[in-house]
Amino acid sequence: MKEIIAQIIGIFAMSFNVLSYQQKSQRGVILFQLFGSALFSINFFMINALMGGILNLVGIARAVVFLYKDKLKARNICWVIGFIAIYLVSYGLTFTVFQKPVNATNLLVEFLPIIGMVATTVAFRHDESKITRKLGFISSPAWLIYNVVNFSIGAICCETLSLISIIVGTLRLDSNKEKSDEK
């Protein structure tokens, strides 16, 4: 029953993340991803994918910081460095405190969401949703592999649909803008 509930929560999380790439404003993208991160943290903890759960908790804090980027001076590179440091500490905790077995596969798989989080953190630092979509081409594949290994159905669907949504958003919002800028 716990597994079924976890997968259902992951599916709800998926809907927020997929819809985030269709938002016109960067604030809309971040807000939708905040809700997705909250639900995915629950999903990952329930399926014992601790790195995913921890990083999604950090993702909630990151989203709040970048929602209030002017007040919190989030454009300052110190925020990006600080979040990357937290991601790396989380990586270390996964193998020490949470005792994930240390082997080549786990070292690689547990690092993939960090790549995704770094790409998204850099994207959130900018004002343009176009940049967020471009960096989504780095984040989504990294998370997709992690999700397949940990068998989070909602997260697998999320990243697959996110990639499609990023492509559609890029074609719909970015390509048309570039064509109109050329005229």
| Percent of the chain scoring above 90 in pLDDT | 68
Q: Provide the pLDDT for residue 2.
A: 93
DSSP letters along 96-123, please?
A: TTS----SHHHHHHHHHHHHHHHHHHHH
Calculate what percentage of the chain has a pLDDT beyond 70: 96
In the chain, where the domains are located? 2-182
At 92 the pLDDT is: 96
Burial letters for 108-138: b for 16+ Cβ neighbours within 10 Å, e otherwise? Answer: ebbbbbbbbbbbbbbbbbbeebbbbbbbbeb
pLDDT band at 182 (very low <50, low <70, confident <90, very high): low
Judged by average pLDDT, the poorest of 17-26, 77-86, 124-133, 174-183 is 174-183
Residue 181, pLDDT above cutoff 90: no
Query: Is the pLDDT score of 147 beyond 60?
Result: yes
Span 29-38, pLDDT tens digits: 889 989 999 9
Q: Average per-residue pLDDT in the chain?
A: 91
pLDDT, position 102: 96
Please tell me which residue, 48 or 74, carries the higher pLDDT value.
48
DSSP tally for the chain: helices H, then strands E: 8, 0
Q: Is the pLDDT of residue 180 over 60?
A: no
The three-class DSSP label of residue 183 is coil
Mean pLDDT of 60-64: 93
Higher pLDDT among residues 128 and 41, named by residue: 41
pLDDT at position 179: 58
